[in-house]
Structure 1
Amino acid sequence: MAEVESFTLDHNIVIAPYVRLIAKEVGPKGDIITNFDVRLTQPNETAIETSGMHTFEHIFADLMRNQLDGIIDISPFGCRTGFHLIAWGEPTATEVAKVLKKTLEEIVKDSYTIDKVQGIAKIACGNYKDHSLHSAKEWSKIILEKGISDDAFVRNVV
């Protein structure tokens, strides 16, 4: 049976919000892929409702890619507490945390409106009715107030 790293993480001792390096993988041709745990809420205490999580997914796919080179994918956790961020190369947890902070700061601006969220029309989204920019904005405020750490176990706010 394959060991899944996130299932071996003690979710009782992490302190969200944080960015944590999960793994660096080296491909057969030497390419490096880096996987991060981008945790927005405290596991087993809070979870972002699906409409807000879905909107975060669309926003992150756009705004974070514009700030951090090499992002391959940003995928939500099924538990709705955060995202996997997978990138080419070796960005650091600090770099990813700073990009996350800038992205959340953009979301909370009054000027960030629903028309700026890409891919939420019926033609572009498989569940276009399940979005909430209001939720994404409210969660962004909460996350920013707590601060984003580049360490899952010790508060080292960026």
Structure 2
Amino acid sequence: MAEVESFTLDHTKVKAPYVRLIGEETGKKGDVIANYDLRFLQPNEKEVPTAGLHTIEHLLADLLRDRLDGIIDCSPFGCRTGFHLITWGEFSTTEVAQALKESLQTIAYETKWEDVQGVDITSCGNYRDHSLFSAKEYAKLVLEDGISDDPFERHVV
């Protein structure tokens, strides 16, 4: 069986919210992709409700791309405590944390419903399961706690 890094992480040792470089891989042609853990909430203590998480996902897809070049994907964890961010090339966790902070500030304090892309029946696979109110509240919660660029020691950006 393949070893999955996420399942080897001791979730009781991390201190959310944080950004963590999970790892990077180099393809056969030399292309590097990096995988980041964007952890919003402390594992096994809290989780983002699905409607809010879904709306945050749609907003981060746009907002993070405005701040970081080379984003491949940003997808929520099944545990609903954060997101995977996949990029071409590697950024420092500080750069990613700063981009995430700016994106969450936009979600929390500036975003209107009409700013959320892909929320109708033709562009979303579960268009009825969105909540901008929840997305804003959880963005504020993460910002209030502060985003660390280290998962084990609080170093808020």
Under a length normalisation based on structure 2, what TM-score does the superposition of the two structures give?
0.99
Aligned to 1:49: 49
> Which residue of 2 is the match for residue 33 of structure 1?
33
Please say if 1:21 is aligned against 2:21.
Answer: yes
1:107 CA displacement: 0.9
Q: Tell me, yes or no, if structure 1 residue 118 matches structure 2 residue 89.
A: no
Residue 2 of structure 2 is matched in structure 1 by 2
- Cα RMSD over matched residues? 0.6
Opposite residue 108 of structure 2, the aligned amino acid is V
What letter matches 1:148 in structure 2?
Answer: I
Displacement after TM superposition at 1:31 (Å):
0.6
CA distance in 2, matches of 1:22, 1:151: 12
Calculate the TM-score normalised by the size of structure 1: 0.98
Unaligned runs of 5+ in 1: none
Instruction: Quote the offset at 1:48 in angstroms.
Output: 0.2
Q: Post-superposition shift, 1:108?
A: 1.3
Q: In structure 2, what is the Cα distance between the partners aligned to 1:79 and 1:90?
A: 25
Shift of 1:122: 1.0
Aligned to 1:145, the other structure's residue is in SS state helix
- Cα offset for 1:113? 0.6
Aligned residue runs from structure 1 range 5-154, under 5 A: 5-109=5-109, 111-154=110-153
Structure 1 outlier segments of 4+, above 4 Å: none
Give the total of aligned pairs: 157
